[in-house]
Amino acid sequence: MNLKDFFIGMSQNQFLNSAAKKYGLKLGAQTVVAGTNIQDMIQSVKDLNNNGISATIDNLGEFVFEEEEALKAKEQILEVIEAIHTNKVDAHISLKPTQLGLDIDYEFCKQNLKEIASKAKEYDIFINFDMEDYGHLKPSFDLIDELSVEFDNIGTVIQAYFYESVKNIEKYKDYRLRIVKGAYKESESVAFQDKKDIDQNFLKLIEYHLLSGKFTSIATHDHRVINHVKEFVKENNIPLEKFEFQMLFGFRKDLQLELAREGYNFCTYVPFGDDWYGYYMRRLAERPQNINLAVKQVFNKKTNTVLGVAAGAFVLGRLTKKKNKK
């Protein structure tokens, strides 16, 4: 098992997810999560706005299996929408259908999403439906299809590692789309496994939607992709108002500010809440270079923590594997 697979596996561990909530953001996650409450999150968004950067806000949580928990998430997101409106910040919402009951009942989830989209439309706030693992792909697109009949303030995500992403981006070209590489571990029967193939498809999707689509959010921390996009939009006379770059809160802050100062639309993905564990583990899987920072913060204060246990388990597993090979 490589480092990426290890942290993706950890992101799906429900026991550790529950334990992580007890520790708050003491595991290094405070560097990439904008607090556990709306007040802290709004202050982070205001700081971004002051630097010419907009935000998409994610009330963290996913794979919910109890109606009570889904309804609680819905109410929290409605409060976030009110907070965006009241504080007049430049921000919109990102949400995951599984947090709002997709694994409980499709119609129940749709009603929750309908309430959110309706409230957001009242304040002219955009709602982005995050895409999750392959098992939830079709029902999530079905929700988009049904709700877009009534609402024009919704969009979604296209994940470049899926084979069917080209078909989907063509189908949803008239939507505002965020294009990403993909953050879940998927089977080779449905997704590219080689980084080179994913990168190539990522650029293909970006170029297609820049030329043929409505509005493109390019979610990447890769300066090579960013430089490619800069050249592509210049060569094809694509106006700046047709796209934005997106990065995650807490990552490559200098580059975020640099792009905003160069005049590009820039949006930071701002996660908050106490259900941060799965999100954080996937960020470590995507960017292993951040593990050193996280582990350093953990062991400075507490060794008996979720990430401490995770890091220890990984090291022990690697050592055992090497020993068995001898």
**Residues carrying an active site annotation:** 130, 178
H or E element in which residue 312 lies: helix 306-325
Helix (H) or strand (E) holding 177: strand 176-180
- DSSP string of 207-265? HHHHHHSSEEEEE---HHHHHHHHHHHHHTT--GGGEEEEEETTSSHHHHHHHHHTT--
| Radius of gyration over every alpha carbon of the chain, rounded to an integer in angstroms | 19
Residue 49: C-alpha distances to residues 118, 195, 220, 246 (Å): 25, 34, 20, 14
What's the token pair of residue 34? Answer: 């904008």
3-state class (DSSP) for residue 120: helix
157 is written with which tokens? 């995500």
Phi–psi pair at 15, nearest 5 degrees: -65, -45
Q: Distance (Å, rounded) from C-alpha 275 to C-alpha 191?
A: 27
